[in-house]
Amino acid sequence: MSATQVARKKGTPALTARGRSGGAAFDDAVPSGRRMRARQHRRAQLTAWAFVAPVVVYLVVFYAYPLYRNLDLSFRDYTLRSFIDGTADFVWFDNYATVLGSATFAPALINTAVFTGVSILFQFSIGLALAVFFFRNFPLAATLRALFLVPWLLPLLVSASVWAWMLNSESGIINAAIEALGGPQVNWLTSPEWAMASVLIANIWIGIPFNLVILYSGLQGIPNDVYEAASLDGANGWQTFWRVTLPLLRPVSAITILLGLVYTLKVFDIIWIMTKGGPVNASTTLSIWSYRLGFGGQSPDLSPAAAVGNLLIILAFVFGLIYIRAQRRLVNS
Amino acid sequence: MTARRSWWKTLIGVALTGIMLFPLYWMINVSLTQPTDLRRDPPNLFPVNPTFDGYTTVISEQLPYLATSLLVGLGTVALTLVLSAPAAFALAKLRPVGGTAVNFLLLIAQMIPGIIMAMGFYLIFNSWGLLDSIPGLILADSTLAVPFGVLIFTAFMTGIPDELLSAAKIDGAGAWRSFRSIVLPISRNSVVTVSLFTFLWAWSDFLFASTLNRGGDLQPITIGIYKYIGNNTQDWNAIMATAVVASIPAAVLLVVAQRYVAAGVTAGAVKD
């Protein structure tokens, strides 16, 4: 049996937790004296760190440093002049005060919450329904499931432009369908009432495949005899779903939802392409607001943009930490 | 009886897939529609009287953008593999002190919203002279993939039996030699998975391209489409034709490497 097969056999991917099968191939040589062992240990550590060092340097230069620059930026008054001579006045919390006092702040925060919450609610429930549906083996199930992945793999810019055209007021296919059924013309992207719904539809569509795949793998992890027991006890399909499948799927569900939160908070491309956050602020989220301040207009307002970005990052980290905790629990269970 | 029932399910499955993929069909349909028919109400459901003018426009106007995206994608893949595979090997097999902390940082790094990275990079690249350049985009895009790469590789390499590496050590192979000659060949599947996703992310990136490469001569295809949308909103068949062409890597990926795709999606989410 090849090593690949050995590795594959180690149960479901979700449960091959690191640390359980600890690997120490290079420091388990025959011990001969404590000092020699200590030296060997040091050498092994040096070797190990030689492999890890590039990524650590990379993390510092390309994650920590941009984050630091962003933080620094948010405490300064960065103007066009600053680009040339590199100086900017330190203004303490002025940018944060400007941002929090802005008329855009409340709508942006509410829109971020609505966009994230509604997206996840629909992505998750549709994804779960589809996962359960595809889990019952039928001819072509695997192929169709694979086709479902396509929307997730497309460049977001492509998906967003296709939806923008489909939702076009005069020439879009969606309005054509609504009008064919006797409904009114809806100004999806250009009216404040519908702009948020439009970007939500597109975003939910993009997120369904991801939820489907993860929840499907979660279903695979539920042992078959649980279902057999339920069926012996006379449970019907509906009862089995609510009393067996859903409770056993809880750890995977928690991770799917939290990961969805972290991803959805970041969404930028879809909204920017479809509505640019408008009309007025109807679909402006924190990401969009930050981008618009920094790069959207004629004169870049980088410092307030950085302040908005840092508010967003606090939200992302809160959910991120909950995610990491939930995942630890899944791995340890 | 059961056979008939499962065919019903197949039918429902096909219908659901059809609904899900309708926007893709629509993209292709519009890309083939005559510009004069674009504003028809109701629109044509099928490309009656199709035209390939949109695609001719793509070839005459978008080739430099496509080439740039290809270059950026390949560069990002190379950088990501070089950084993530050796680090993952050490994290999985060599037990570096502080390895847990590195893992944790990688997990956190994935959660930073792109707009924040973009602003930081904008300032840094401004002083390093990397704005509007391909190396700049490669560096920025690699941040989308390196943590994912390390996580995927670590998860796989942890499963490689220690005996294999001990045997190599007895034969006199150092850590680097073992990595090159044993671990890397065994991890071929992970290399494919990481490369595919990295390429796709770099190819699809719009945020970094639109902030860090706003005025360069060599811009990626996402900017090409974006400019189209901004400039001539009438010419939707050319826009959709470009969109179809920009979707080709995703389609190829799904056809050629379907099993790696599903593996990548789940592994990225569920593994630590």
Interface touch A52/B102, C-beta < 8 Å: yes
**How many domains are contained in chain A?**
1
What's the pLDDT score for residue A89? 80
Give the list of residues 6+ apart from residue A232 with CB closer than 8 angstroms, or none: none
- What is the pLDDT confidence band of residue A262, given thresholds at 50, 70 and 90? confident
- Among chain B residues, the shortest Cα distance to A308 is held by B116
A206: in domain:
yes
- Please name the helix (run of DSSP H) or strand (run of DSSP E) that holds residue B69, with its range, or none: helix B63-89
Asked if residue B76 lies in contact with residue B141, where contact means CB atoms within 8 angstroms, the answer is yes
Note whether B35 contacts A: Cβ–Cβ < 8 A.
no
CA distance A250 to A218: 9
Q: State chain A's mean pLDDT as an integer.
A: 83
Give the model's pLDDT for residue A64: 93
CA closest to B230 among chain A residues: A273
Distance from the B120 Cα atom to the nearest Cα atom in chain A, whole angstroms: 4
* Residue B1 confidence (pLDDT): 44
Whether A66 is covered by a domain: the verdict is no
Decide if pLDDT at B48 tops 50. yes
* pLDDT band at residue A222 under the 50/70/90 scheme: confident
In total, chain B counts a number of residues equal to: 272
CB contact under 8 A, B122 and A17: no
Distance of CA B127 to the CA centre of its chain: 28
For the record, the structure tokens of A263 come out as: 């991803």
Residue A292 maps to a domain: yes
Query: Is A274 part of any domain?
Result: yes
**Chain A residues touching residue B258 (CB < 8 angstroms):** 146
Angle subtended by helix axes A156-166 and A195-220, to nearest 10 = 130
Min distance B115 CA to chain A CA atoms (Å) = 7
Q: Give the range with max mean pLDDT: A114-128, A173-187, A258-272, B227-241.
A: A114-128
Rg of chain B, C-alpha, whole Å: 23
Q: Which of residues 89-128 of A touch B (CB under 8 A)?
A: none
Neighbours of A224 (CB within 10 A): 7
* Contact yes or no for A135/A219 (Cβ under 8 A): yes
Nearest CA in chain B to A329: B272
Confidence tier at B21 by pLDDT (50, 70, 90): very high
How far is C-alpha B86 from the chain's CA centre? 21
Residue B111's identity, in one-letter code, is M
Asked if the Cβ–Cβ distance from A23 to B93 is below 8 Å, we say yes
What's the confidence (pLDDT) of residue A68?
Answer: 93
Look at A309 and B121 and tell me if their CB atoms are within 8 Å: no
- Give the position of tokens 């392409």: A273
Provide the pLDDT confidence category of residue B3 given band limits of 50, 70 and 90: low
Best CA proximity match to A21, nearest among A46, A3, A47: A3
Q: What is the C-alpha to C-alpha distance for residues A313 and A318, in angstroms, rounded to an integer?
A: 9
Phi (first) and psi of residue B219, to 5 degrees: -115, 150
ipTM of the prediction: 0.87
Q: Which of A50, A157, A268 sits opposite B222 (nearest CB)?
A: A157
The answer on pLDDT for B27 being more than 50 is yes
What Å distances lie between residue B235 and A329, B60, B229, B238, CA to CA? 52, 15, 8, 6
- A148 with B20: Cβ contact below 8 A: yes
Contact residues on chain B for A317, CB-CB shorter than 8 A = 108, 111
pLDDT at A66: 93
Is residue B153 within 8 angstroms of chain A, CB to CB? no
How many other CB atoms are found less than 10 A from the CB of residue A318?
A: 13
Q: Which residues of B touch A172 (CB under 8 A)?
A: 43
Calculate mean pLDDT across residues B36-40: 78
DSSP reduced 3-state for B45: coil
Sequence spans of domains, chain B = 53-270
Mean pLDDT value of segment B197-205: 92
Q: Per-residue pLDDT tens for A20-76?
A: 334 444 544 444 577 888 888 888 888 888 899 999 999 999 999 999 999 998 998
Chosen for mutation from A62, A71, A83, A145 (greatest number of chain B CBs closer than 10 Å) is A62
For A332, the closest chain B residue by CA position comes to B272
Smallest CA–CA distance from B37 into chain A, residue: A171
Tell me the three state secondary structure of residue B173. coil
Cβ of B243 within 8 Å of Cβ of A162? The answer is yes
**Beta-carbon separation of A62 and B41 below 8 A:** no
Greater confidence (B186 vs B49) lies with B186
Tell me what pLDDT residue A286 has: 92
- In 3D space, the residue among A270, A293, A220, A314 whose CA is nearest the CA of residue B262 turns out to be A220
3-state secondary structure of A89: strand
State the residue range of the domain holding A271: 98-332
Pairwise pLDDT comparison (B21 vs B53), residue with the higher score: B21
| Helices marked H in A139-236 | 141-147, 150-153, 156-166, 173-180, 195-220, 224-232
**A255 with A323: CB under 8 angstroms?**
yes
Distance from CA of A138 to the nearest CA of B (A): 5
Q: How far apart are the first and last CA of chain A?
A: 29
Q: Report yes or no: A68 and B124 within 8 Å, Cβ to Cβ.
A: no
CB pairs A-B closer than 8 Å: 358
CATH superfamily for domain B53-270: MetI-like (1.10.3720.10)
Cβ-Cβ contacts under 8 Å for B42 (sequence gap 6 or more): A173, A176, A179, A180
Contact: A25, B30; criterion CB under 8 Å = no
Return the residue in B82, B111, B152, B260 with the most chain A beta carbons within 10 A, the one to mutate for interface testing.
B111
